[in-house]
């Protein structure tokens, strides 16, 4: 039982809240903390705040309202009417954008992991997604390997994500097959295809 989570929720504003996170540790405590953080983020998101502010509030939840929990997370808001994705990260690996057969990580925004210290400010960025784009948000269990650096693992993920499979399901199957981790960490991935 682990502490990875993903979420995709349509908000009252019609924006879509997308999140992926990873609570440190395993077992009941990590799973319980994951539920607390995921549900807190859902509740905070109805305020209409942006991803950076949401992570700042979620950091305070992790720091003050849980029992010494730390976690990494990506929080994004996608507006289907404009195809703009606003996002922020808290110590988490960056999303991967696949566009026209090419894949790249989004910028490594500044953002401390959740729960380490109180009152953290997070950096926010935005990207306009095009029809046909695919966005991948994942936890480190997808890429962690004992025999290579995280930079090498991210490069391998980006190369693998650029595959030209026909359906999103086939592309995800390919990604999971060829990006296997050799650790016992949980793996979580959420993929968004713009149509």
pLDDT along the chain (195 residues), means of 10: 88 97 87 92 97 98 84 97 98 92 92 95 98 90 70 76 74 72 70 91
CA 94/CA 188 separation, integer angstroms: 14
* Predicted pLDDT at 157: 74
* Predicted pLDDT at 57: 97
* Cβ proximity of 61 and 118 under 8 Å: no
* Predicted pLDDT at 1: 62
* Predicted pLDDT at 141: 73
At 29 the three-state DSSP class reads helix
Cα angle: 162, vertex 171, 131; to 5 degrees: 70
* Predicted pLDDT at 161: 78
All residues at 6 or more sequence positions from 169 whose CB lies less than 8 Å from its CB, including other chains = none
C-alpha to C-alpha distances, 176 to 23, 67, 138, 173, nearest whole angstrom: 21, 33, 11, 5
H-helix or E-strand spanning residue 89 = strand 84-90
Q: Dump pLDDT digits (tens) for 88-126.
A: 999 999 999 999 989 899 999 999 999 999 999 999 999
C-alpha to C-alpha distances, 148 to 142, 163, 182, nearest whole angstrom: 13, 22, 11
- According to CATH, the superfamily of the domain at 2-193 is PPM-type phosphatase domain (3.60.40.10)
* Predicted pLDDT at 145: 67
């Amino acid at each position: 039982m682990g502490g990875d989570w993903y979420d995709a929720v349509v908000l009252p504003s019609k924006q879509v809240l997308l999140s992926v996170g990873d609570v440190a540790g395993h077992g009941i405590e990590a799973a319980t903390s994951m539920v607390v953080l995921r549900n807190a983020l859902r509740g905070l998101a109805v305020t209409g705040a942006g991803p950076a502010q949401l992570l700042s509030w979620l950091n305070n939840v992790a720091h003050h309202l849980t029992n010494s929990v730390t976690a990494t997370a990506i929080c994004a808001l996608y507006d289907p009417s404009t195809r703009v994705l606003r996002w922020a990260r808290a110590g988490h690996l960056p999303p991967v954008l696949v566009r026209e057969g090419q894949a790249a990580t989004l910028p490594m925004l500044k953002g401390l992991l959740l729960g380490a210290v109180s009152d953290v400010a997070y950096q926010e960025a935005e990207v306009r997604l095009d029809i046909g784009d695919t966005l991948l948000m994942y936890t480190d269990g997808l890429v962690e390997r004992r025999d290579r650096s995280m930079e090498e693992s991210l490069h391998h993920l980006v190369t693998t994500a650029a595959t030209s499979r026909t359906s999103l399901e086939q592309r995800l199957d390919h990604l999971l097959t060829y990006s296997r981790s050799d650790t016992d960490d949980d793996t979580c991935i959420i993929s968004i295809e713009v149509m």
